[in-house]
Amino acid sequence: MSKKGKVVLAYSGGLDTSVAVMWLTEQGYDVVTMTADVGQQAVDLEAAKNKALRSGAVKAYVLDLKKVFVEKFVWPSLKANGMYQSTYPLNSALSRPLIAEVMAEIAKKEGAVAVAHGCTGKGQDQVRIEVCTNALNPELQVLAPVRDWHFTREAEMEYAQAHGIPVLATAASPYSIDDNIWGRSIECGILEDPWNEPPSDAYTLTVDPWDTPDEPEYVEIAFSKGIPVALDGEKMDGPALIEALNVRAGRHGVGRIDMLEDRLVGFKSREVYECPAAITLINAHRALETLTLDKKVIAAKKELEIKFSDLTYEGYWFSPLKDAINSFIETTQEYVSGIVKVRMYKGEAVVRGMKSVDSIYSHTLATYSEGDAFDHSAAVGFIKIWGLPIKTWRQVHESKEAIEIPAQ
């Protein structure tokens, strides 16, 4: 068989991508794998590299991408309070454009003609990876061996055994898991029935609320221009801060999400997430914006936050509209700096205090006590002008039907 050139495969080391290495090789490609550490709970980069090479890859890249993931994808999403359908913090969706970008860079470096992924035809990650890849390099072909092969999971296992491909048993967990530093996605098995309560064994980042400490824990989160930079006065880089908060908030059961999600591929799916740091930071960031941003800016930003989340979820991370929204959001974050005090207790992360040198809250205007600087006499003229359109309307048109007051 004539060689077709190199293909860069997003490689996790699981069953799908392990058999994909051999299958692509049989199709005439030289397979270069790319394994990314984006903060998933269990990742051994050296073991992944060795396994890829044993599975038939000609070269294996293993990359620690936690820092770039946080700085280029997580923090922009946090600034946008990114939550799909106001519920899902986009943890899995955020990692896909990074994977596509890194694969495109490796393809350029290696002179590859294509990139490949292990998504099925039912998943939405196939859309995200392929759309992002096309946006970055329209000339690259995108291959999807698992989707196009039409093999069942059982057939994949038989193929792996017949070709001596090292794969672990796949029946150990009843769930399909995807995780990174921003959160963990759990689906399949008993969770497919929306009537079933997610069992305790589905969770690993968060403690059941009834088993959490009986005393609340407070954390002070310092922000600089929309980015969290310290916990309780201790400065940290992005990955370290998120990891520390995942532990602290997770200990109190914070960040469990159970939703029916409208999937990109056209059907509803029951999705369970646990995102302790993400939920805590979004709550804190959103609260700090109420202290530092103008009312109309907040209102306009809320509309664009929905669009930002939809575009990210749909694989349009590198779209011109997303770039324009990013520019607006970045402008709003110039003065979103300060300290937010959050109480973590029994599954909730609640803001209990905040302060900022850029606060536009004025105590002398808000107080009803001595020192009140508000000009009360100005209220009379304000009310007349504010209510003038309604007053004029009623002077021209009939009055509303009066409410009947019973006799006393």
| Per-residue H/E/C for the chain | CCCCEEEEEECCCCHHHHHHHHHHHHCCEEEEEEEEECCCCCCCHHHHHHHHHHCCCCEEEEEECHHHHHHHHHHHHHHCCCCECCCECCHHHHHHHHHHHHHHHHHHHHCCCEEECCCCCCCCHHHHHHHHHHHHCCCCEEECHHHHHCCCHHHHHHHHHHCCCCCCCCCCCCCEEEEECCEEEEECHHHHCCCCCCCHHHCCCCCCHHHCCCCCEEEEEEEECCEEEEECCEECCHHHHHHHHHHHHHHCCCCEEEEEEECCCCCEEEEEEECHHHHHHHHHHHHHHHHHCCHHHHHHHHHHHHHHHHHHHCCCCCCHHHHHHHHHHHHHHHHCCEEEEEEEECCEEEEEEEECCCCCCCHHHHCCCCCCCCCCCHHHHHHHHHHHHHHHHHHHCCCCCCCCCCCC
Residue 39 labelled as part of a binding site = no
Residue 171 has pLDDT above 60, yes or no: no
Query: So what's the pLDDT on residue 283?
Result: 98
Q: Mean pLDDT for the chain?
A: 92
Is 271 one of the annotated binding-site residues?
no
Is residue 36 annotated as involved in ligand binding?
Answer: yes
Is 286 a catalytic site residue? no
Give per-residue burial for 172-195: e unless 16+ CB within 10 Å, then b. Answer: eeebeebbbbbbbbbbeeebeeee
Ligand-binding site membership of 184 (annotated): no
The more confident residue out of 219 and 162 is: 219
Q: What is the pLDDT of residue 351?
A: 98
One-letter amino acid identity for 215?
A: E
Instruction: Establish how many alpha carbons lie within 13 A of residue 105's alpha carbon, considering only the half-sphere containing its beta carbon.
Output: 9
Asked if residue 9 lies in contact with residue 20, where contact means CB atoms within 8 angstroms, the answer is yes
Strand partners, 268: 262
Query: Is pLDDT of 297 > 90?
Result: yes
What's the pLDDT at 222? Answer: 98
CB 115 within 8 A of CB 140: yes
Minimal CA–CA distance to 186: which of 274, 118, 254, 119?
274
179 annotated to bind ligand: no
For residue 211, pLDDT over 90 is answered with: yes
Residue 56 has pLDDT above 60, yes or no: yes
Tell me which of 95, 96, 248, 309 is the catalytic residue: 96
- pLDDT tens-digit series, residues 342-389: 999 999 999 999 999 999 988 776 667 777 777 788 889 999 999 999
CB neighbour list of residue 101: distance below 8 Å, 6 or more residues apart? 132, 136
Q: Where are the domains of the chain?
A: 5-162, 176-293+336-355
Instruction: Give residue 169's pLDDT band: very low, low, confident or very high (50, 70, 90).
Output: very low
Residue 92 labelled as part of a binding site: no
Phi, psi values for residue 388, rounded to 5°:
-60, -45
pLDDT classification of 1: cutoffs 50, 70, 90: low
Which tokens belong to 266? Answer: 């056209």
379 is in an annotated binding site: no
Q: What is the pLDDT of residue 399?
A: 66
CATH superfamily name and code, 176-293+336-355: Argininosuccinate synthetase, chain A, domain 2 (3.90.1260.10)
What does the alpha-carbon distance between residue 20 and residue 115 come to, in Å, rounded to a whole number? 12
Residue length, the chain?
A: 408
Which pLDDT score is estimated for 168?
58
**What pLDDT score was predicted for residue 310?**
98
Instruction: Please say if 16 is a catalytic residue.
Output: yes
Token reading at 117: 């992924």
- Which residue, among 284, 298, 281, has the nearest Cα to 360 in the 3D structure? 298
- Of 16, 30, 179, 256, which residue is the catalytic one? 16
Residue 335 CA to residue 356 CA, distance in Å, equals 9
Phi, psi of 166 (to 5 degrees): -75, 110
- In the residue annotation, 270 being an active-site residue is answered as no
What is the CATH architecture of 5-162?
Answer: 3-Layer(aba) Sandwich (3.40)
Q: Which entry of 30, 55, 92, 125 is annotated as an active-site residue?
A: 125
Rounded CA separation 69/79 (Å): 15
Does the annotation list 10 as a binding residue? yes
Catalytic residue among 44, 153, 173, 176: 176
User: pLDDT (tens digit, 9 = 90+) per residue, 262-272?
Assistant: 998 888 999 99
161: Cβ contacts below 8 Å, ≥ 6 apart: none
Confidence grade of residue 172 (pLDDT, cut at 50, 70, 90): low
360, 291 Cβ separation under 8 angstroms: yes
Distance CA 188, CA 161 (A): 25
Q: Is the pLDDT of residue 152 over 90?
A: no
**Residue 63 burial (10 A CB sphere; 0-12, 13-18, 19+):** middle
Q: 96 catalytic, yes or no?
A: yes
Q: For residue 5, say whether it is annotated as part of any ligand binding site.
A: no
What is the structure's pLDDT at 175?
76
Q: Is the pLDDT of residue 109 over 90?
A: yes
Q: What pLDDT is attached to residue 104?
A: 97
How deeply is 248 buried, as exposed, middle or buried, from its count of CB atoms within 10 A (0-12, 13-18, 19+)? buried
